[in-house]
Structure 1
């Protein structure tokens, strides 16, 4: 049995890592010579010096060979292969990220395609719903199809909020706690002014829901994910006045518009529940305590007290401490 190894087979790993056949053969010769001049290398591979120099320049750029004046020195093959493998892995990682970005873009672009296709074909999927049971349970049913489903919803009146709290909030709290639903809600301030309703909101918030209040909410609506929106039978009219008749609209353009409206309302609304630090200083100030007295009571510096007042004013959208106190009282923070 012959024990002679074919030099070409030894070069194959380098070729698979991006070396040309000439570079692989030259590097193999370099490893045997360890140190050589251009003339010596040309003789070793039986190639013109000009051709060898081009291949050598490529090996130097790859870090496989070092050049020292008139001589070339081969680097250890482990270091060379390690560098080539690392570069290949980096390239593969970049390509993988590019593929992920293309796939994500394809999903977004599909929504535009579907919207345009539905427009030209005359199809605009609208599904009527009737009754509070069908409405609130439909939202959970849709969320179960693709959890976790991001829901944004506006509630403009006390009756709608009370009916939701009485019959369905437990199911929604469980869905939020289980990660099926990721809700954010903007509600009218008077809809959550009663202590019982604030307790319901506190449970909902503890399950992960985002809750904010606004003096006036223009209408009831919701957007679930990127493909479904809920619209009332008549914009601006409370749901109970239409016996909870409403529509599910399956159109990305409608969902996008309602999401944009919600984000505008969300930015203007104030949290229903204040941060504890802000609430503490407001309550103590309402009792007539000065900044120094509040600081002693809480065991913090006066500077910290003033920072917490600034935080409270920011949350309430107040321009002064007096205004903050009025808003805090109106929102049930005191």
Structure 2
């Protein structure tokens, strides 16, 4: 082949390979993983609710013009379907709709990111939310307007109490118009730090974002750091008899390795996916086998068997991540039940 033709072929291959890399990279970014990239580094526990997805799941027609009662009724219906157990806004929905001009009826998604330093609520907003109107409402209700539009609106407990039934996480606000995000926290100083992350001026929770991408687009999800998962999902949460039974079951399964991350999400088809990340990819296949066995047997500390709650549809390992695909039994709230301990198949 002539040299010129070879060079042309190489150039084409470079473009194609580069395009594939970009395409694959873009496919790995989900709404949840993007939201986690905007959350502060050091986030150990995050709770996700895709409110657009929730509205689709229950067939709700609520919007910016809906009454507070209609919004509260929508949230109640969604709660009954285990779609809102990860939300921090459920009890605030009607008041938010009436007083603030944004609520679970209009926001796109919600992420509550928590760490030892503080907690921040992130809300994605689209055309259904007029942030200029939200700003005017905050001003009229007593929040202190910042000098710059995207800085922190300071409120506090007194302002919050004067508005009505609102979660403490809504004490202080930041309206990031160019990013389509509203942020809130019960600590003004922590919110200021979180805003820097959302603006791209500080690092976010990229480690959790990478893991969460494996959930694809869940309607609701919890994503934990390894330290948090190993403490709060541990069998140490159970009584002595349950711990002794768990030790025997883990030994019989061949043992497991400590987790460096954990995520569980409720998918749009009603299935639940659990992602369990270990430190070494060489350990993941063995962990997949062991944790699949544990997820198919007794549930000490929870009562009964896991098979009473769900069927294990698939177990696999890729890289450092073990994936368990679960199909909940009718009437079982798998996501809300198994994102707090003790959870044997998530033990460290």
TM-score between both structures, scaled by the size of structure 1: 0.26
The structure, 1 or 2, with the larger RCO (C-alpha pairs under 8 Å, 6+ apart) is: 2
Bigger Rg, structure 1 or 2:
1
